[in-house]
Structure 1
Amino acid sequence: MDNVELFERLGLAIAIGAAVGVERHWRERDEPEGGRTAGIRTFTLFGMAGGVAGLLERSFGVASSYSGITLTGFLIAIALVMAIFEMREAIAEKTYSVTSVVAAILTFGLGALAALGDMALASAGGAALVTILASREFLHQAIRRLTWVELRSAVILLAMTFVLRPILPDTPVGPFGGVSPKSIVMLAIMLASISFAGYVAVRMFGSTRGDVLAGAIGGLVSSTGTTVAFARRSASGEDGTTLSAGAISASAVSLLRTALLVATLAQTLLPVLLWPLVAGAAVLALYALILARSHQSTGGEVAPGNPFELAAVAKMALLLTCVAFLARAATQQFGGAGLIFASALSALADVDAATVTVASLLPSLQPGVAAQAVGVAALTNMAAKAVYGSVFGCARFSWHLWGATALSAAAALGAWALGSVV
């Protein structure tokens, strides 16, 4: 390692300490000189101490059988000194907080990481540390507003994601490619996450803006899952107008995502499909925007209900899994001759699968047939979401969804016909 890199690593360690010190000093900026345990200078020195300890460890630890002694000694000394002074401050002010002690230890550790390990990881860790420290008021307020239902839903979602999913087998079971138990749980997690994200967005931004924002975000993951989740919420008594605006915005994002997939995986189809997809997405986005702007609240916001019900989420996941299974079976039975029909069946669950499949077969397909398959899949997916909205949602939700779907389909078909004539 040359001298330039050594200076860079030590400079990063000092910068991490200074960044943490700015936040710590700002929080106690009204204290008189000598009235705070540690400020910008002290935390800068903590970061520098970590960097120096790391460089010493790098110099002596390689040739010694007692590697780690230097770092351990520095860390114990800093932790003891910081703990003593923090305890004296806590006794004087009658407070109970160990945040500054932990921040000092982490600052030293990140400084050592900058000297010994990955500099990018040390930079990211420093940024994360400052962000957490600066978010005290926001986090405390969020915890005060947190209800038991929200906490329980978050715990269930985390357990499904990090406990249940890893232990399930990934090997498909059954004919026609089978069904993977892990894929069913992943679909349930996706649906639950969309519902929870929508709940959080409504709590933060209100029902009108929250539902539209949550729908647009959900459309990046699965517009079909978002539509089903919003339909269930409308049937439970929540505002069908704002929820339909969210579902429509999810469909708009889905069409734009399909255009991006085509541009990435099947560039030869882009001249044919770009304008129909963009036209359909524009109509949907405009419809959702008009709904959101014209909606007038009547007597205050309705408090959202349970972030998600596990039984209902599991049923929806099983339903969509069955639809996807039937689509794969039809694809294998009909083969290339039934590509358009198979794409339509696949789109009952998700349009991405049909798009990716057509793109993979493109070298052996005529561009016209491939474009028709993707177009039919997009239209079928829009119609399927409208049907799901009618089955699982309230009448107002269904009416708006069908209206937006019809207008969007007309715009897309018009753009397709205009492109064919030109």
Structure 2
Amino acid sequence: MVNFYKPKAVKKSINQQLTVEIKSLDMNGDGVARQGKKPIFVELALPGETVEVKVTEEKSKYLRAKAKKILVAASTRIKPVCKHFYQCGGCDLQHLDYEQQLTFKQQKISDLFRRNSNIEHLPWETALHVDIWHYRRKARIGVQYNKLNQAIVGFRQKSSNVLTPIKSCPVLPDVFADEFSDFSTLINSFSSKQAISHIEVIAAEEPLVIFRQVRKLSTEDQQKLLEFNQHKPYQIALQQDGGLHYLVTQNSPYLSYKVNGCDLQFSPTDFVQVNINLNTKMVNQAIQWLALEPQDNILDLFCGLGNFSLPIAKQVNSVIGVEGVQDMVERADMNAQANQLTNCKFYQADLNAETNDWPWLTADSENMVNKIVLDPARAGAYNAVKNIVELNVNTVLYISCDAATMARDAKVLLDNGFTLRKICLMDMFSHTRHVETMALFCR
């Protein structure tokens, strides 16, 4: 049998120049226009704009394009604060007026609830937001090397592994915002070329910079790092194979932050909320929405190192915290002891497992628990919620970092006798498309 060569069909629209009118934003913050029956998703375009675009991708059901020229600008378009915005992939929405950013994010949540639960009008409360600049207390900065073996220090471009060299970042705290050039100069002075793969910055009570080394720095280079550290308002550690080596001996291997009168310690590798000031407002609002009473017994699922558990424990009879990562459970126990809270118990369990066996919830504690806090990762809490509806609990506070999985999980609650009483947007990541939500469900 003879096989004849069939050339692949040429994508007719790739590199085509079009003039389009942007009608809306999609879930990622890209402008949406139409070419015939196909939607066109246009990076950095806003509703109400007429834009000259170049098609970069063609699929059977849609096109993607980049804006080449704004012919008619939207009234909501503003000049980005960061000079790297159009190259860096860290922020998505600096070109959009901040109040419109909040409107976009709230509409995104509304659309997901409408699709999943047929709720047309959500009981919105005022959005939580605080510092929209210099808010990000934890970030990973990339390091790459060009053909001349010179270090490039910065963040990845959108949908790319290529780094944009950064001079300053206005979403990082002041202590780190302008350190990029100094980091670059330092790395380029090392004799151990390409030893550093990335840098992590953490603005805790005592700020920390971690240099990740893929091979050990020479003694001479470590001395350069030590001298560099002597002129900086942060401590420095080297990381290799999971271990941290501080340049200056520390009294404790832990960092810390404060929330609602509690001092929480954490390891540099632990998950913590990125926006420290919004975290405080979030915990305050959680306590307010739960209407805590001294006789309450709280179940905190996906409790982490005690971010909600410990401030809540100061106001109630008892708290049971459950977390999937054993290290975090140990950290929560440690933090409870350090804050002299004896009414907390913490357990390790996979809350995403398809099981209704919760051995840490005994018959006695099950009868006592009357309010639940949920703060899952992006995967949501579907299996946990299926178990919650079987409990004799009338109040569930759900904190979400992914509106899609929250809307999915909410349907389980709503189908089992719960009502959505309150919901609010929390702008944890200003100028990005990411959405955080708090919702109160009552039965």
Relative contact order (alpha carbons < 8 A, sep ≥ 6): 1 or 2 greater?
Answer: 1
* Bigger radius of gyration among the two: 1
Quick check: which one's strand share is greater? 2
TM interval, shorter chain, is under 0.3
